[in-house]
Structure 1
Amino acid sequence: MTTPQEELLPGTRRALLHRIAVAQAEGRAPSLVAAVVRDGRTVWHGARTSVDGHGPDETVQYRIGSITKTFTAVLVLRLRDEGLLDLGDPLEKHLPGTGAGEATIADLLAHTSGLAAESPSPWWERTPGSLRPELADVLGEQPLLHPAGRRFHYSNPGYTLLGALVERLRGAPWEEVLRREVLEPLGLDRTSGHPQAPHAGGWAVHPWADVLLPEPVEDLGRMAPAGQLWSTTGDLARFAVFLTRGDERVLNAETVREMRTPAAPAEAADVVDGVTYGLGLQIQHRHGRLLVGHSGSLPGFLANLTISIEDDVAAVVLANCTSGPLLSSVGADLVRIVAEAEPRIPDPWRPLPEVDAPVLELTGAWYWGTHAFALRLATEGGVSLEPLSGIGRRSRFKANSDGTWTGLEGYYAGEPLRAVRRPDGTVSHLDLGSFAFTRQPYDEEGSVPGGVDPEGWRGIG
């Protein structure tokens, strides 16, 4: 059930309602529904106009199009976490004979496989999936338009292959696996492959007149893993919480963080808002904040899921029209309205329960050449390294059992950090992926590659 809307201030609720009202009216959508999530709970739901004569609530289904891809990506990453595949594996290793087997699993997830954007004619979104019963019918005679792994090129057939991969390794239909492994554990009982009442009908709105045409509802068949699903604002709000925090029953927090990490660049034509792609998630910078999620569309429907991890705010927006309101902008605006009107209250600072003395000894200023950095002990047990100027490479590091650390983000993601000690046990320097960090700029007491000029620092007169 929706958390009482009084949890948001009246001014915030009015601003949210105004935004979706403008989107529905100017976009000429037969209906538009939205929900906002904060701190892991749905705190607002809004709707404009009606479905079957009633204002749609959080239980009314809309088709969500390519948000389906995010669900498919979750299934693939479950296979990886169980050790059944590696993201670097070529598809051919697990699903031979497709003609696109040189692409890796990661390539397919990040849309860098080189596959075409669409399946061969006829237009797959408006024709029955029975016209494409085999993977060869989805891929066509020339599946690859670009070399695998070389460029971002959004591909619906690529996610068809990922769905087929799930079916091959699980030995069951994609939708059955999805329900058993994701929908049921997360309580998404109003998300399904086919519409279940109450649901919205899909409409085309005439571009030059205020009249409607019903859109056909097609079973996408083999293309289902790319866009088949129907869902609700209630279910997608819960899915947003999962994509923010993880759930050990499905994917842990570290893996969903991996999904949210850029894995592919954007094409030059798509970089206006800094859009990139992770593993089944779109990533962009808008309004000065990092947003992750996915948009979706099929004839008669538009959908968007937008999450700001830093603000712990997410928005879901659904509409039943083929074109009209730009829901990615609406979703970003809903997040911004809440984040700016009612900024997140930070967790209270608390001291560590215990001190690791050897690690505490390493905290403070370090120098990479003449660049000043600070090493800090993090409350979760790792460390962070950040430039004192505020400009430059920074990263958080997780602790390993052998006394070293591994980078979690940015330039140092995956790179090893260790303290190098002298025979007497004192610290000589920090080694970060072969970079030497010393206590003073080019410290004579440290081990500096290339050595330190014996005449030391000097002026030039």
Structure 2
Amino acid sequence: MTTSPEELLPSTQRALVHRIAVAQSEGRAPSLVAAVVRGGHAVWHGARTSVDGEVPDETVQYRIGSITKTFIAVLVLRLRDEGVLDLGDPLEKHLPRTGAGEATVAELLAHTGGLAAESPAPWWERTPGSLRPELSDVLGDRPLVHPVGRRHHYSNPGYTLLGALVEQLRGAPWDEALRREVLEPLGLHRTSAQPQAPHASGWAVHPWADALLPEPMEDLGRMAPAGQLWSTTGDLARFAAFLAHGDDQVLSAESVREMRTPAAPAAAEDVAGGATYGLGLQIQHRDGRLLVGHSGSLPGFLANLTISVADDVAAVVLANCTSGPLLSAVGADLVRIVAEAEPRIPEPWRPLREVERSVLELAGPWCWGTQAFALRVTADGLIALEPLSGTGRRARFRSNGDGTWAGLEGYYAGELLRAVRRPDGSVSHLDLGSFVFTRQPYDEEAPVPGGVDPDGWRGIG
């Protein structure tokens, strides 16, 4: 496995070992393996096991459950980037007569398509996929349990539909398309739809006794796109680096950034926890940082992939038990330990290569009403508008090449900023989505909406 030459400090490594040791011991997991990624490379691997002399390494497969959904989302985004589909397309356009065709591709990716959480009984995770040979067997008589697009409701059948969509448009089984388009280009040679030795066995741990029961290992059939894959900490470490940085062989940095962007309205119970969902990725705020990734579970296995893009640190944690250690907390802790013990060293400041005078004259203080802002021209070719008080709307803008700028985030995402010039070419004011920004508060020489009192500013007396 590729390892960064910049190894973690011994104290950091010990803290990581301690965290997974506590998780394996208190969670009573037969085995637990983990990896940490920094700077696009795995920099640490750890394992704890209940069997002496059989410590699993980064090549041992575990079932990863719903992390499979993130792989399916990558395949769908590839179809979009190729122009084969649009995320706004209703499913019916490409996969007709499912009974759920009103939902769009984007809504299925974000679990806002209104579909049920599970397929009809018996429970699909512990029964053979041969019981559900057709999509109609997966969706049942009542596929929709909520109005389409109105709320986030996690749906396993929704990703079965996305897997079927991939098969329809690629003319090949979803796992074959995945191997050809994602796994091979990224070097994920130990990720597969069926287990390949060496792999862990799945166990249930008795809740009131230190005893084990083997779990069935079913082929999920039609439901496979919701959770079939097996993988390793080594492969998932590479996948985490891809989700953070992109890879033009598979998806661009811009497209993986879109996957990491919230696309689903958070339910009331999720708002307090700061959790939402993107396109095939879970998103949460924890310990003051934004984390993206996905959890997974199937009988006998737990999995978690957690990424902090801002810290450039990711963690993978896998265990072979049905329940026990809370891997989402473990993954977040592994990221936090590295980010706090060895904070990311910023790149050296570098000036712009070229400075356009027409852009530079926009830099400096501006006022929206009585609120003071600063507009900065940054080395990445963007401009940033920031409130001087520390509170207020802020955003970065990318040039459209015609003298206007498009907002990239927050309230001003997609909104247009333009400099309005006087007949002599000097800048009168900025227009940002109808808001007028002036050099002085309520500049009487600018077209301030509602006008400015002709007597100007005054005292209270």
Question: TM-score, with normalisation over the residues of structure 2?
Answer: 0.97
CA contact (8 A) 1:112 1:148 kept: yes
**Separation (CA, whole Å) in 1 of partners of 2:308 and 2:360:** 33
Call closer, same or farther: CA 1:6–1:361 in 2, change over 3 Å: closer
1:385 is matched with 385
Does residue 146 (structure 1) correspond to residue 168 (structure 2)? The answer is no
2:316 is matched with 316
Give the partner amino acid of 2:70.
T
**Separation (CA, whole Å) in 2 of partners of 1:331 and 1:21:** 13
CA contact (8 A) 1:51 1:200 kept: no
Cα deviation 1:241-276 (Å, max 9, x = unaligned):
111111111111111111111111322233442111
CA contact (8 A) 2:61 2:190 kept: yes
2:169 is matched with 169
Aligned length, in residue pairs: 461
1:428 CA drift (Å)? 1.6
1:450 CA drift (Å)? 2.2
CA contact (8 A) 1:7 1:43 kept: yes
Call closer, same or farther: CA 1:357–1:6 in 2, change over 3 Å: closer
Give the partner amino acid of 2:402.
D
Does residue 275 (structure 1) correspond to residue 282 (structure 2)? The answer is no
2:37 is matched with 37
Call closer, same or farther: CA 1:138–1:279 in 2, change over 3 Å: same
2:83 is matched with 83
**Separation (CA, whole Å) in 2 of partners of 1:337 and 1:66:** 25
Cα deviation 1:56-98 (Å, max 9, x = unaligned):
1111100000001111111111111111221111111111111
- Which region of structure 1 is more displaced relative to structure 2, 318-327 or 421-430? 421-430
Give the partner amino acid of 2:218.
E
1:10 is matched with 10
**Separation (CA, whole Å) in 2 of partners of 1:183 and 1:432:** 44
Cα deviation 1:100-137 (Å, max 9, x = unaligned):
11111111111111100000001000111111111111
1:95 is matched with 95
Residue 7 of structure 1 aligns to a residue whose secondary structure is coil
Does residue 332 (structure 1) correspond to residue 332 (structure 2)? The answer is yes
**Separation (CA, whole Å) in 2 of partners of 1:75 and 1:36:** 25
2:265 is matched with 265
**Separation (CA, whole Å) in 1 of partners of 2:288 and 2:429:** 37
CA contact (8 A) 2:4 2:41 kept: no
Give the partner amino acid of 1:174.
W
1:344 is matched with 344
1:209 CA drift (Å)? 0.6
Call closer, same or farther: CA 1:66–1:367 in 2, change over 3 Å: same
**Separation (CA, whole Å) in 1 of partners of 2:229 and 2:63:** 6
Cα deviation 1:200-233 (Å, max 9, x = unaligned):
0000001011111111111111111111110100
Residue 208 of structure 1 aligns to a residue whose secondary structure is coil
Does residue 365 (structure 1) correspond to residue 377 (structure 2)? The answer is no
Does residue 115 (structure 1) correspond to residue 96 (structure 2)? The answer is no
Give the partner amino acid of 1:103.
A
Cα deviation 1:280-330 (Å, max 9, x = unaligned):
110111111111100000000000000111111000000000000000000
CA contact (8 A) 1:2 1:45 kept: no
Within 5 Å, give how 1:85-234 maps onto structure 2. 85-234=85-234
CA contact (8 A) 1:307 1:313 kept: yes
**Separation (CA, whole Å) in 1 of partners of 2:6 and 2:219:** 40
Cα deviation 1:323-355 (Å, max 9, x = unaligned):
000000000000000011111111111111221
Give the partner amino acid of 1:80.
R
CA RMSD of aligned residues (A): 1.4
Give the partner amino acid of 2:11.
G
**Separation (CA, whole Å) in 1 of partners of 2:88 and 2:433:** 22
Residue 47 of structure 2 aligns to a residue whose secondary structure is strand
- Which region of structure 1 is more displaced relative to structure 2, 91-100 or 153-162? 91-100
Within 5 Å, give how 1:421-460 maps onto structure 2. 421-460=421-460
Call closer, same or farther: CA 1:76–1:276 in 2, change over 3 Å: same
CA contact (8 A) 1:64 1:231 kept: yes
CA contact (8 A) 1:305 1:314 kept: yes
CA contact (8 A) 1:5 1:44 kept: no
CA contact (8 A) 1:2 1:44 kept: no
Give the partner amino acid of 1:356.
E
Give the partner amino acid of 2:154.
Y
Aligned identity (percent) is 83
CA contact (8 A) 1:50 1:56 kept: no
- Which region of structure 1 is more displaced relative to structure 2, 312-321 or 71-80? 71-80
1:198 CA drift (Å)? 0.7
Does residue 248 (structure 1) correspond to residue 248 (structure 2)? The answer is yes
**Separation (CA, whole Å) in 2 of partners of 1:51 and 1:187:** 30
1:417 is matched with 417
Residue 338 of structure 1 aligns to a residue whose secondary structure is helix
1:51 CA drift (Å)? 7.2
CA contact (8 A) 2:4 2:43 kept: yes
Structure 1 residue ranges without an equivalent (≥5): none
1:50 CA drift (Å)? 5.9
**Separation (CA, whole Å) in 1 of partners of 2:277 and 2:196:** 31
Residue 293 of structure 1 aligns to a residue whose secondary structure is strand
Give the partner amino acid of 1:379.
A
- Which region of structure 1 is more displaced relative to structure 2, 408-417 or 44-53? 44-53
Give the partner amino acid of 1:417.
L
- Which region of structure 1 is more displaced relative to structure 2, 200-209 or 443-452? 443-452
CA contact (8 A) 2:204 2:321 kept: yes
Residue 235 of structure 1 aligns to a residue whose secondary structure is helix
Residue 234 of structure 1 aligns to a residue whose secondary structure is helix
**Separation (CA, whole Å) in 1 of partners of 2:144 and 2:164:** 18
**Separation (CA, whole Å) in 1 of partners of 2:52 and 2:240:** 27
**Separation (CA, whole Å) in 1 of partners of 2:313 and 2:367:** 37
**Separation (CA, whole Å) in 1 of partners of 2:160 and 2:385:** 41
Question: TM-score, with normalisation over the residues of structure 1?
Answer: 0.97
**Separation (CA, whole Å) in 1 of partners of 2:105 and 2:230:** 26
1:6 CA drift (Å)? 7.3
